[in-house]
């Protein structure tokens, strides 16, 4: 009988150890499965990034990648009131050639460019146009000089829009001219 009780105690002790071991094994198995899934996800991310880097390298080698671009446009939004008589522009002190001042909108610069900050200097001479009831505008002269800084990003585009417009609420022809400069 003593042996039977001892055997039962030993058997119950063995069962409890086995149950705890089984429980620990299932916890560790779950943790190992979670780590495996995490490692698989990390591996997939590494593969995707590796493919992207390979594509960028191929594009760079083939010179198919453009890093920075700058567009500069001038627009006369009131061509019935103002005519551009003369115009000059400089980028960092270097003149930019302009071919046609007769159009109401023209691009003076559109090209790939090194990233960084650029200073544009614009000088305009405009004259008033005597259009129908606005004949009093004829003979008015407007001289404009503006400096604008543009920051071109490392990758992407920058834009500078220089707009000339008529201020509608103004009654003095000397103050009709409005300038709007947008840098994007």
Sketch the domain layout of the chain as residue ranges.
1-65, 68-183
**In terms of DSSP bridges, do strands 94-96 and 82-91 run parallel, antiparallel, or are they unpaired?**
antiparallel
* Cα(65)–Cα(56) distance, integer angstroms: 8
41-89 pLDDT, tens per residue?
888 888 888 877 776 666 666 655 556 888 888 888 887 778 888 888 8
18-37 pLDDT, tens per residue?
556 656 667 777 777 777 78
For residue 138, give every residue at least 6 positions away whose Cβ sits within 8 Å of its Cβ, in sequence order, or none: 128, 129, 130
Instruction: Give 35's DSSP letter.
Output: H
**How large is the average pLDDT for residues 102-123?**
85
* Predicted pLDDT at 94: 92
Q: Are the C-beta atoms of residues 161 and 181 closer than 8 Å to each other?
A: yes
Strand, helix or coil for residue 15: helix
**How large is the average pLDDT for residues 155-170?**
81
Q: Are the C-beta atoms of residues 148 and 182 closer than 8 Å to each other?
A: no
Tokens read off for 30: 């779950």
The CA distances from residue 131 to 4, 85, 144, in Å, are 121, 16, 22
Q: Are the C-beta atoms of residues 143 and 125 closer than 8 Å to each other?
A: yes
């Amino acid at each position: 009988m003593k042996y039977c009780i001892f055997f039962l105690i030993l058997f119950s002790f063995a069962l409890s150890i086995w149950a705890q071991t089984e429980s620990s094994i299932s916890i560790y198995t779950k943790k190992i499965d979670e780590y495996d899934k995490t490692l698989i996800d990390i591996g997939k991310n590494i593969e995707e990034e590796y493919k992207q880097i390979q594509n960028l390298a191929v594009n760079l080698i083939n010179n198919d990648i453009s890093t920075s671009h700058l567009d500069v446009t001038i627009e006369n939004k009131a061509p019935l009131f103002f005519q551009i008589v003369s115009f000059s522009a400089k980028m960092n002190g270097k003149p930019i050639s302009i071919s046609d001042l007769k159009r109401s909108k023209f691009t003076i610069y559109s090209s790939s460019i090194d990233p960084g900050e650029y200073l544009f200097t614009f000088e305009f001479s405009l004259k008033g146009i005597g259009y129908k009831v606005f004949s009093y505008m004829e003979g008015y002269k407007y001289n404009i000089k503006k400096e604008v800084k543009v920051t071109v990003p490392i990758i992407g585009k920058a834009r500078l829009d220089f707009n000339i417009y008529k201020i509608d609420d103004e009654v003095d022809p000397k103050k009709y001219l409005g300038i709007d400069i947008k840098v994007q």
